[in-house]
């Protein structure tokens, strides 16, 4: 049996397989299975093979990493300046060969260093908030990003790019959109959120083109109107192939696949624009619906300040269906939450009727909801399509007992952020949720 090289070693192995011998090269990871060797290949994928059927052709011991100093590139007076606000996520991640795990450890300067094409689009500077995976981001981080965007514009940047993990990217992007536009404002420049589905050191990474697209929008995109949910956007791959990235309205997009490079899809709308990337040729094309809408509305004036979120607001979320009972409502109220959000079925329905007289818990749930003294918002479990409580009698009953959400067309997460924003800024929740504050209520619903 072969002696396993140290983790981190670069190896060249001859493998004996059912189809004959083959040769591979890569970096040794901790073994995934006992009596096997696990190797990270150059294409980013891992392979495990029994030690009993390998021959080690060469093995280079891991070299201790050296500290690398990155220098800011010289400023080009002919280019605008964009600030990258760095929070972490897969776009800032690489494989840790001591554990085999992907960890958030790229520095923002390294991102710029690895994508030199960016320097043909804009002068870049970087503000680092942290190296966090997005599931760890909370409202206090939203406020830090809002702070950073304000400082960037005050320093003369024409745009801001926020690097962020993908799992909650659309939530944070919606929060920044409400902060800048929810009270009638408009940022002085463009704000683009960007992430990646594959870590930046993988051959299959989508990070570089997503980042190029985001910087292109931040540097050269149209001035946001403040009325078309265009002040804050999300830049991600259009398809699984390279070559094009979509620019989505932050409040009208959602991650709909756990691993595909085109995981982000519009919700009840269409992308605002597409960035086409062909080697060094990067072009920005506005969507016809967005270009037409821009020509028919009055853009808002730019503001220097945004609103903030109350970091102590607590919103309890639950799912409508066979398991929703009064107990969940009582537990939430008993823990002094500020609001409830229920992800309703279909057009936004809850189990609150008992037509066969054999489900008394439905009536109990109806009564518990009717007695609430905190806001209760219904969003769409289907993701796509509106919350419409006028179609069925059940929906009208829900409106009669004070449930909010009728007419919502934004992503469900954007609606929850809107609720948090209203509570944070002492706004009337019922009227605010029904109002289209800055275009988050998408008017271009697709069937």
Distance CA 424, CA 447 (A): 34
The answer to whether 270 and 289 are in contact (CB under 8 A) is yes
3-state secondary structure of 202: coil
User: Which two structure tokens, joined as six digits, stand for 189?
Assistant: 């420049």
- Quickly list H helices, 101-195: 108-114, 139-154, 169-181
- Sign, CA dihedral 224-439-144-166, equals negative
Give the active site residues.
90, 166-167, 255
Q: Give 23's contacts (C-beta < 8 A, 6+ positions apart).
A: 12, 13, 14, 15, 57
Tell me whether strands 339-344 and 244-249 are parallel, antiparallel or unpaired: unpaired
What one-character DSSP code corresponds to residue 337?
-
Residue with tokens 């079925």: 345
Which structure tokens are listed for 434?
């029904």
- Max Cα-Cα span within the chain: 75
**3-class DSSP state of 258:** coil
First to last CA, the chain: 60
Is 78:85 a contact under the CB 8 Å cutoff? no
Within its chain, how far is the Cα of 307 from the centroid?
21
Pairing of strands 253-255, 264-266: antiparallel
- For residue 9, report the phi and psi dihedrals to the nearest 5 degrees: -70, 145
How deeply is 333 buried, as exposed, middle or buried, from its count of CB atoms within 10 A (0-12, 13-18, 19+)? Answer: middle
Q: Where are the beta strands (DSSP E) in 267-387?
A: 273-278, 281-286, 315-319, 339-344, 376-380
Q: Answer yes or no: are the C-beta atoms of 273 and 281 closer than 8 Å.
A: no
Question: How is residue 91 annotated by DSSP?
Answer: G
Supply φ then ψ for residue 329, to 5 degrees: -65, -45
Query: What is the β-pairing status of strands 253-255 and 244-249?
Result: unpaired
Alpha carbon of 368 to those of 320, 330, 333, 361, 401: distances in Å?
14, 8, 10, 10, 10
Alpha-carbon span 8 to 61, nearest angstrom: 7
């Amino acid at each position: 049996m072969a002696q396993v090289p140290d983790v981190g070693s670069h190896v060249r192995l001859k493998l004996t397989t059912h189809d004959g011998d083959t040769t591979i090269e890569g970096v040794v990871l901790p073994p995934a299975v006992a009596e096997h060797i696990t190797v990270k290949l150059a294409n980013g994928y891992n392979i495990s093979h029994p030690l009993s059927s390998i021959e080690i052709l060469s093995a280079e011991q891991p070299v201790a990493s050296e500290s690398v100093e990155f220098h800011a590139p010289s400023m080009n007076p002919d280019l605008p300046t964009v600030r990258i606000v760095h929070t972490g996520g897969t776009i800032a991640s690489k494989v840790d060969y001591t554990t085999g795990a992907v960890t958030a450890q790229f520095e923002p300067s390294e991102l710029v260093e690895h994508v030199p094409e960016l320097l043909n689009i804009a002068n870049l500077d970087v503000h680092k908030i942290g190296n966090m995976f997005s599931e760890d981001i909370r409202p206090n981080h939203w406020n830090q990003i809002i702070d950073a965007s304000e400082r960037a514009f005050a320093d003369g940047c024409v745009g801001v790019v926020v690097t962020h993990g993908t799992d909650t990217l659309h939530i944070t992007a919606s929060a920044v959109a409400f902060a800048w536009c929810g009270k009638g404002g408009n940022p002085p420049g463009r704000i683009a959120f960007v992430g990646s589905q594959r870590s930046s050191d993988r051959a299959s990474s989508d990070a570089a083109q997503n980042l190029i697209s985001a910087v292109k929008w931040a540097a050269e995109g149209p001035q946001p109107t403040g009325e078309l949910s265009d002040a804050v956007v999300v830049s991600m791959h259009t398809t699984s192939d390279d070559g094009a990235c979509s620019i989505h309205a932050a409040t009208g997009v959602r991650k709909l696949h756990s691993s595909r490079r085109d995981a982000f899809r519009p919700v009840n709308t269409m992308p605002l624009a597409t960035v086409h990337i062909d080697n060094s040729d990067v072009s920005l094309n506005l969507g016809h619906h967005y270009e037409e809408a821009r020509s028919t509305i009055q853009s808002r004036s730019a503001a220097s300040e945004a609103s903030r979120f109350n970091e102590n607001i607590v919103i309890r979320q639950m799912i409508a269906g066979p398991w929703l009972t009064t107990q969940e409502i009582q537990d939430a109220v008993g823990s002094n939450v500020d609001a409830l959000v229920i992800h309703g079925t279909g057009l936004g329905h809850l189990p609150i009727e008992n037509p066969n007289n054999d489900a008394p818990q439905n009536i109990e749930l109806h009564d518990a909801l009717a007695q609430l003294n905190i806001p209760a918002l219904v969003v769409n479990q289907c993701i796509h399509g509106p919350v419409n409580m006028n179609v069925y009698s059940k929906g009208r009953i829900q409106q009669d007992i004070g449930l909010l959400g009728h007419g919502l067309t934004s992503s469900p997460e954007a609606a929850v952020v809107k609720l948090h924003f209203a509570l944070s800024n002492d706004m009337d929740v019922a009227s605010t949720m029904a109002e289209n504050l800055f275009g988050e209520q998408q008017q271009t619903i697709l069937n």
